[in-house]
């Protein structure tokens, strides 16, 4: 029997099994019902990084849950948030989320059991695992992330890199792309200041991990991705709050940089047409803003007795269309999603016009009451002035009185 004939027949069952397992591991990790990435973010979610979290909240593909910890809350408050919002069992954690992101906080916010659940969820159940600003040198106080303490936990096994304690990369604000991958193949990434801090903790990619970017001066590993068991992992050295304001404002593709990392660890294919995807993502972000403004306006004019049913109906219709655009986006039909979303944003113009009409009607009565009050006051003051100064009703003519002559 030839070697060529013996090899396939003997190892065919194993090969089929490996293909099945590999196919299962490469499948997107999303909610089986909605198709969305159920993302759990724990850590520093303060006002300095609201731009990034707002992008995640507005994206149709991401269902974000935030548990504040670190600088945004004291130790006891952070632990209370964890007790309230973190699932009570490992199975519940696995069934409720597809991605776990840790962002710049110390491990003693979590219990050892929580950390074990996360470790098992990534290794055995394929949850994505993102680490943001978690490779800083060992700072044990509450304002750091105490990399040394994280290294002592079982969760450190899931990191795509080894951390070097007590050292920082050479001071630079820029990264260079070293791996052509959709995760970092974003216009301008290597031209903008990606951090305003300059130096971050040293990390070295582990065997089998991918280095996507390096720091510019001495080429230390920066963005690193890997696999742990059946889960995909990613380390981003700087925090969302480290990205300079001018970069957030001027870099058109910042939204894609933020969202791509969530897609990557969930193994969701990244958009091929980045410009179209960016337009849709920004439109969903704009929808969220406009809807919040509309809700505030309804509340405001409702206080003056305006009937807001008509604009509430318009908002409901726009919401239904937005849901349709979201579903098309999740299904990968970006063109159709964009067409629907453009109509939704145009619908806000009609909503704005209707809102202005209601505001004018409500304010008409306010203006009328003000006019009557001012006019009434003017009439009363005028009558009083006319009576006192013209008719002189309260004045009496001066009379001559006799005076006693002196003796």
pLDDT of residue 147: 85
Strand pairing class (224-228; 210-211): antiparallel
Q: How far apart are CA 194 and CA 246, in angstroms?
A: 10
pLDDT of residue 117: 98
Domain 25-270 in CATH 3.40.50.880: yes
Compute CA 177 distance to the chain's CA centroid, rounded to the nearest angstrom.
25
**Residue 224 in contact with residue 203, Cβ under 8 Å?**
yes
pLDDT in tens, the chain (407 residues): 334 444 445 544 544 444 444 444 578 999 999 999 999 999 887 656 678 998 999 899 999 999 988 776 778 888 999 999 999 999 999 999 999 999 988 898 999 999 999 999 999 999 999 999 987 754 544 446 788 889 999 999 999 999 988 888 899 999 999 999 999 999 999 999 999 988 888 899 999 999 999 999 999 999 999 999 999 999 999 989 899 999 999 999 999 999 999 999 999 999 889 899 999 999 998 898 888 888 887 777 777 777 777 778 888 888 999 999 999 999 989 999 999 999 998 888 777 777 777 777 777 777 778 888 899 898 888 887 777 776 666 566 666 666 555 55
pLDDT of residue 364: 73
pLDDT of residue 73: 75
Task: Provide CB contacts within 8 A for 58, sequence distance 6+.
Answer: 281, 284, 285, 287, 288
pLDDT of residue 246: 94
Beta bridge partners of 204: 162
H-only helix segments in 49-145: 50-58, 75-85, 90-96, 112-125
- Report the first-to-last Cα separation within the chain, whole angstroms: 165
| Helix/strand number for the chain, H first, E second | 11, 11
- Is residue 369 within a helix (H) or strand (E), and if so which, with residue range? helix 334-385
pLDDT of residue 44: 83
Using only C-alpha atoms, the chain has a radius of gyration, in whole angstroms, of 32
Backbone dihedral region of 188: left (phi > 0), alpha (psi from -120 to 50 degrees) or beta? left
Q: How far apart are CA 60 and CA 325, in angstroms?
A: 9
**Residue 41 in contact with residue 49, Cβ under 8 Å?**
no
pLDDT of residue 403: 59
The SS3 assignment for 103 reads strand
Q: With the C-alpha atoms ordered 368, 369, 373, 374, is the resulting torsion angle positive or negative?
A: negative
pLDDT of residue 103: 92
Q: How far apart are CA 243 and CA 213, in angstroms?
A: 16
Q: How far apart are CA 314 and CA 309, in angstroms?
A: 9
**Residue 88 in contact with residue 118, Cβ under 8 Å?**
no
Task: Provide CB contacts within 8 A for 37, sequence distance 6+.
Answer: 29, 30, 31, 61, 62, 63, 98, 99, 128, 262, 263, 266, 268
Q: How far apart are CA 21 and CA 54, in angstroms?
A: 36
Q: How far apart are CA 357 and CA 338, in angstroms?
A: 30
**Residue 124 in contact with residue 229, Cβ under 8 Å?**
yes
pLDDT of residue 137: 55
Backbone dihedral region of 256: left (phi > 0), alpha (psi from -120 to 50 degrees) or beta? alpha
pLDDT of residue 398: 61
Task: Provide CB contacts within 8 A for 341, sequence distance 6+.
Answer: 280, 283, 284, 287, 322, 325
pLDDT of residue 406: 57
pLDDT of residue 21: 43
CA distances from 5 to 11, 18, 78, 82, 96 (A): 11, 20, 62, 58, 47
């Amino acid at each position: 029997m030839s070697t060529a004939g013996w090899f396939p027949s003997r190892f065919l069952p194993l090969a089929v099994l490996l293909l099945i397992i590999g196919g299962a591991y490469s499948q997107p990790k999303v909610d089986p019902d909605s198709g969305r990435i159920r993302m759990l973010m724990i850590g520093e979610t303060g006002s300095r990084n609201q731009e990034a979290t707002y992008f995640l909240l507005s994206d149709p593909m991401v269902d974000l849950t935030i548990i504040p910890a670190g600088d945004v809350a004291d130790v006891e408050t952070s632990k209370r948030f964890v007790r309230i919002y973190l699932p009570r069992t490992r199975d519940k954690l696995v069934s409720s989320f597809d991605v776990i992101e840790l962002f710049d906080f110390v491990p003693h916010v979590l219990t050892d059991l929580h950390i074990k659940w996360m470790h098992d969820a990534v290794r055995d159940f394929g949850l994505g695992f993102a680490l943001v600003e978690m490779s800083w040198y060992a700072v044990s106080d509450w304002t750091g992330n105490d990399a040394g303490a994280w290294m002592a936990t079982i969760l450190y096994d899931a990191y795509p890199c080894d951390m070097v304690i007590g050292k920082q990369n050479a001071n630079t604000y820029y990264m260079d792309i070293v791996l052509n991958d959709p995760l970092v193949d974003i216009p301008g990434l290597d031209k903008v200041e990606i951090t305003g801090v300059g130096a971050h903790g040293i990390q070295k990619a582990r065997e089998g991990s991918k280095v996507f970017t390096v720091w510019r001066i001495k080429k230390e590993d920066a963005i690193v991705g890997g696999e742990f068991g059946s889960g995909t992992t990613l380390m981003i050295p700087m925090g969302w709050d480290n990205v300079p304001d001018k970069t957030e404002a001027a870099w058109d593709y910042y939204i894609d940089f933020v969202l791509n990392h969530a897609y990557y660890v969930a193994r969701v294919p990244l958009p091929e047409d980045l410009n179209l995807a960016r337009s849709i993502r920004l439109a969903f972000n704009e929808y969220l803003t406009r809807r919040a403004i509309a809700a505030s306006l309804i509340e405001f004019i409702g206080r003056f007795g305006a009937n807001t049913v008509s604009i509430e109906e318009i908002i409901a219709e726009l919401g239904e269309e937005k849901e349709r655009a979201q579903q098309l986006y999740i299904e990968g039909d970006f063109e159709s999603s964009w067409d629907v979303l453009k109509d939704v944003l145009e619908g806000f113009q009609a909503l704005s016009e209707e809102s202005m009409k209601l505001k004018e009607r409500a304010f008409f009565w306010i203006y009328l009451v003000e006019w009557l009050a001012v006019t009434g006051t003017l009439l009363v003051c005028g009558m009083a002035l006319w009576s006192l100064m013209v008719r002189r009703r309260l004045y009496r003519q001066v009379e001559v009185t006799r005076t006693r002559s002196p003796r």
